[in-house]
Amino acid sequence: MAELLQPTEQNLARAAAALRAGEVVGMPTETVYGLAGTATDARAVAKIFATKERPTFDPLIVHVAPEMSLEGIVASVPTRARTLMDAFWPGPLTLVLPRGNRIPDLVTSGLPSVAVRMPRHPVAQALIREAGVPLAAPSANRFGRISPTSAADVQSELGDRIGLILDGGRCELGLESTVLALEGERALLLRPGGVPKSAIEQALGIEVLPAPKVEGPAASPGMLASHYAPRKPMTLLDAPLERATFPAALPRIIGVLAQSGDAEQRARELSQRLGVTVRVQVLSASGDPGEAARRLFASMRALDGSDAELLFAEPCPTEEGLGHAIADRLRRACAR
Ligand code: TXA
Ligand code: MG
């Protein structure tokens, strides 16, 4: 199993040395944990893909530290990108920009663009700084599975395949960065995430457009329909729990991901109505979107690990702000 390391100076130096030697390392960020490798080293990048069993048509995000030069990472920084960096970096916004000459093909899946982000988690920043190289890092889960939001989650996803995981505590945001492409005069939202669309529109003064639908391997494969999924089948309900339609035939025990309210009370009510045992995970008792985002993946993981045989998710009450990303992840987790 991987060693879980506290982020002491000594352990950061050790993890940085492993990265420089071409190894991959579990790294905390404010969004989710990443599986980091040196972005300019094609062999390290190949190791990331192999470890995650990720198809190579799905490009990676390059992570930089605040004092790091973007030279060679991106070919240019358009004015609008600069505006967004000033407003949201360090933080959960990934920008898709013209690719620089130090970035190997494998990172971008051969695309002429590269995705770049500056995380604000102090341990991620310290690790990048100490390694002295930009780090490619996808979320540290097996391909298509639930993203990890704690070091223990990384251990259970990839612990048998990697040597080191830096423990930076529970992720502050709990879901991934927003991925935005700047193409000519247009800003395209490739993945909703930690920075809401409205905040980007406010900073840029232009509308952010949805990513165009593409056939086959996607332009941004985080957009693949089935993603972030538990092992057990999960169905997105058609309405809030009280009014939701459930299938007529249910197993003895079901699991429900509820948006808000009291877990025990909701389990009791539903159990009476359906005549089966119900395990409930509530995202936020008070319906706070920040808390819901933070707990989303951990709650899915808990239901996946429970004795429930079939899972259901209550739809997110809003698609505004963080609700957009929460609703997106729920739809993908429920897609088969
Ligand atoms: O919050 C995050 O972004 C986390 C943490 C670890 O930083 N990382 C993450 O990486 O979510 P990953 O690999 O799970 O998702 C990367 C997303 C995918 O949707 C991918 O398709 C998109 O970024 N992407 C990467 N490079 C791209 C490019 N050149 N053009 C379009 N989309 C790109
Ligand atoms: Mg991912």
Q: Is 96 in the pocket of ligand 1 (CB under 6 A)?
A: yes
Burial group, residue 30, by CB count within 10 angstroms (0-12, 13-18, 19+): buried
pLDDT of residue 219: 53
E strand or H helix at 62:
strand 61-63
What token pair was written down for 121?
């988690």
List the beta strands (DSSP E) in 65-169.
93-98, 113-117, 135-136, 164-166
> Cα(228) to centroid of ligand 1, in Å?
13
Residues 217-249: tens digit of each pLDDT: 555 555 566 788 999 999 999 999 999 999 999
How many whole angstroms separate alpha carbon 136 and alpha carbon 42? 10
What token pair was written down for 86?
């000033």
End-to-end CA distance of the chain: 31
- Contact between 182 and 329 under an 8 Å Cβ cutoff? The reply is no
CA distances from 252 to 19, 258, 282, 304 (A): 48, 19, 21, 16
Helix (H, G, I), strand (E, B) or coil at 80: helix
pLDDT of residue 109: 96
Site to substitute for ligand 1 among 33, 61, 116, most atoms within 8 A of C-beta: 61
> Cα(84) to centroid of ligand 1, in Å?
17
Q: Is 32 in the pocket of ligand 1 (CB under 6 A)?
A: yes
Q: Is 191 in the pocket of ligand 1 (CB under 6 A)?
A: yes
- Contact between 289 and 323 under an 8 Å Cβ cutoff? The reply is yes
E strand or H helix at 302:
helix 289-304
pLDDT of residue 188: 97
pLDDT of residue 336: 77
> Cα(14) to centroid of ligand 1, in Å?
26
pLDDT of residue 184: 85
Q: Is 177 in the pocket of ligand 1 (CB under 6 A)?
A: yes
Whose atoms come closest to the Cα of 114: which ligand?
A: 1
> Cα(299) to centroid of ligand 1, in Å?
22
Q: Is 39 in the pocket of ligand 1 (CB under 6 A)?
A: no
pLDDT of residue 213: 75
How many whole angstroms separate alpha carbon 102 and alpha carbon 35? 20
Site to substitute for ligand 1 among 172, 179, 226, 294, most atoms within 8 A of C-beta: 179
- Contact between 113 and 78 under an 8 Å Cβ cutoff? The reply is no
Cβ contacts of 95 within 8 Å, gap of 6 or more: 81, 84, 85, 115, 116, 117, 180, 181, 182
Helix (H, G, I), strand (E, B) or coil at 316: coil
DSSP notation for 120-134: --HHHHHHHHHHTS-
pLDDT of residue 221: 53
Residues 88-140: tens digit of each pLDDT: 999 999 999 999 999 999 999 999 999 999 999 999 999 999 999 999 999 99
12-38 mean pLDDT: 98
Phi, psi of 181 (to 5 degrees): -105, 135
> Cα(248) to centroid of ligand 2, in Å?
34
263-273 mean pLDDT: 96
Q: Is 138 in the pocket of ligand 1 (CB under 6 A)?
A: yes
Residues 147-195: tens digit of each pLDDT: 999 999 999 999 999 999 999 999 999 999 999 999 888 999 999 999 9
Strands in 310-313's sheet, in edge-to-edge order, are 234-236, 310-313, 253-258, 277-282
Residues 29-88: tens digit of each pLDDT: 999 999 999 999 999 999 999 999 999 999 999 999 999 999 999 999 999 999 999 999
What token pair was written down for 231?
């092992």
Site to substitute for ligand 1 among 25, 139, 145, most atoms within 8 A of C-beta: 139
How many whole angstroms separate alpha carbon 39 and alpha carbon 126? 16
Q: Give the position of tokens 């995981």.
A: 165
pLDDT of residue 7: 98
pLDDT of residue 12: 98
pLDDT of residue 220: 58
Q: Any idea what DSSP says for residue 222?
A: G
Whether pLDDT at 333 is above 80: yes
Q: Is 218 in the pocket of ligand 1 (CB under 6 A)?
A: no
How many whole angstroms separate alpha carbon 39 and alpha carbon 16? 13
